[in-house]
Amino acid sequence: MPLISQLKSVLGDAHVLTGADMAAYGQDWMRQYRWTPLAVLRPANRDQVATVLKLASAAGVPVVPCAGRTGITGATVADGILMLSVERLNQIRAIRPEARLAVVEAGVILSTLHDAAAEHGLYFPLWFGARGSAMIGGVLSTNAGGSNVLRYGSTRALCLGLEVVLADGRVMDLMSELHKDNSGYDLKQLFIGAEGTLGIITAAVMKLVPAPRAHATAMLAVPSLDAALTLLNRLQEATGGLVEAFEFMPRTYQELLWASRPDLGLPFDRIHDVTILVELGATAPRDTMPGPDGSVPIGGLLEETLAAMMDEGLIIDATLARSEAQRNTIWARREAAAEIMVGLDHSIDTDISVPLNKVGTFLDRALAQLDALDPGATTLTVAHLGDGNLHYSVIPSSADKALRERVVSGVEDIVADLGGSFSAEHGIGLSKRASMARRKDPVALDVMRRVKMALDPNGILNPGKVIPD
Say which CATH number the domain at 150 has: 3.30.465.10
| pLDDT higher than 70, residue 113 | yes
Compute CA distances 106 → 22, 159, 199, 218, whole Å.
21, 13, 13, 35
pLDDT digits (tens, 9 = 90+) for 4-15: 999 999 999 999
DSSP string, 68-122: S---SS-TT--TTSEEEE-TT---EEEEETTTTEEEEETT-BHHHHHHHHHTTTE
- pLDDT beyond 90 at 167: yes
Contact present, 104 and 83 (Cβ < 8 Å):
no
Whether 167 and 202 share a structural domain: yes
Residue 14 forms part of a structural domain: yes
Task: Look at residue 294 in the predicted model and tell me its pLDDT.
Answer: 79
Confidence (pLDDT) at 291: 85
Question: Is 266 found in the same domain as 176?
Answer: no
In the structure, what pLDDT confidence band is assigned to residue 26 with cuts at 50, 70 and 90? very high
Same domain for 330 and 253, yes or no, is yes
pLDDT at 338: 82
Indicate which CATH number applies to the domain containing 248: 3.30.70.2190
Residues 289-299 have pLDDT tens digits of 988 887 899 99
User: For residue 28, what is the domain's CATH number?
Assistant: 3.30.43.10
* 48 and 117 part of one domain: no
Answer whether residue 451 is part of any domain: no
Asked if the structure places residue 132 within a domain, the reply is yes
Instruction: Using the 3D structure, point to which of 186, 210, 234 is the last residue of a domain.
Output: 210
Residue 453 included in any domain: no
Mean pLDDT of 387-403: 93
Map residue 214 onto helix, strand or coil: strand
Q: Do 328 and 222 belong to one domain?
A: yes
pLDDT category of residue 469 using cuts at 50, 70 and 90: confident
Note whether 165 and 72 are same-domain residues: no
Q: Is residue 464, in this structure, part of any structural domain at all?
A: no
Answer with the one of 312, 335, 358 that is the final residue of a domain: 335
**Which residues neighbour 5 within 8 Å (Cβ) at sequence distance 6 or greater?**
none
Residue 408: per-residue pLDDT: 94
- The pLDDT confidence band at residue 31, using thresholds 50, 70 and 90, is confident
> Which residues have C-beta within 8 Å of that of residue 102, sequence separation ≥ 6?
92, 94, 95, 96, 113, 116, 117, 124, 205, 206, 208
Give CA–CA dist 103/97, Å, rounded.
11
Per the CB < 8 A criterion, the answer to whether 31 and 65 are in contact is no
CA distances from 220 to 3, 324, 383, 389, 418 (A): 58, 18, 15, 19, 27
Give the contacts of 155 (CB within 8 A, at least 6 positions apart).
126, 139, 140, 142, 143, 144, 145, 192
What are 53-83's pLDDT values in tens digits? 999 999 999 999 999 998 989 999 999 999 9
Q: pLDDT category, 343, cuts 50, 70, 90?
A: low
Q: pLDDT grade, residue 156 (50/70/90)?
A: very high
- 345 has a pLDDT exceeding 80: no
Judging by beta carbons within 10 Å of its beta carbon (0-12, 13-18, 19+), is residue 242 exposed, middle or buried?
buried
Averaged over 314-335, what is the pLDDT? 95
Of 185-194, 271-280, 344-353, the least confident: 344-353
Tell me: do 118 and 194 sit in the same domain: yes
Q: Which domain holds residue 131?
A: 92-210
CATH number of the domain bearing residue 378: 3.30.70.2740
Number of domains in the chain: 4
- End-to-end distance of the chain based on CA atoms, in angstroms? 30
What pLDDT digit, counting tens, does each position of 398-424 carry? Answer: 989 999 999 999 999 999 999 999 999
Mean pLDDT of 342-368: 90
pLDDT at 270: 94
Average pLDDT of the chain, as a whole number = 95
d(CA 461, CA 168): 10
Supply the DSSP symbol for 248: E
Residues 65 and 114 in one domain: no
Average pLDDT of the residues in 264-279: 95
pLDDT of residue 265 exceeding 90: yes
Q: Is residue 54 located within the same domain as residue 158?
A: no
pLDDT value of residue 32:
83
Does residue 104 sit in the same domain as residue 184? yes
Q: In terms of domains, do 80 and 184 share one? A: no
Which of 434, 464, 446, 423 is CA-nearest to residue 143?
423
Q: Identify the three-state secondary structure at position 245.
A: strand
Residue 322 has pLDDT above 70, yes or no: yes
* pLDDT at res. 30: 77
- Please report the sign of the dihedral spanned by the C-alpha atoms of residue 41, residue 43, residue 46, residue 52: negative
* 3-state SS, residue 382: strand
The confidence score (pLDDT) of residue 346 equals: 79
pLDDT tens-digit profile of 211-239?
A: 999 999 999 999 999 999 999 999 999 99
CA distances to 86, 129, 131, 319 from 146, rounded to whole Å, are: 22, 8, 10, 23
Distance CA(22)–CA(26), nearest Å, equals 7
Specify if 466 maps to a domain.
Answer: no
Residue finishing a domain among 87, 110, 128: 87
What would the mean pLDDT of 133-155 be, rounded to a whole number?
Answer: 95
Handedness of CA 135, 136, 141, 142 (dihedral sign): positive
Rounded-to-integer distance, Cα 33 and Cα 30, Å: 8
Report the percent of the chain where pLDDT is more than 70.
100
114 shares its domain with 195: yes
Checking phi first, is residue 186 left (phi over 0); if not, alpha (psi -120 to 50) or beta? beta
In a domain, 469, yes or no: no
158 found inside a domain: yes
Residue % of the chain over a pLDDT of 90 = 91
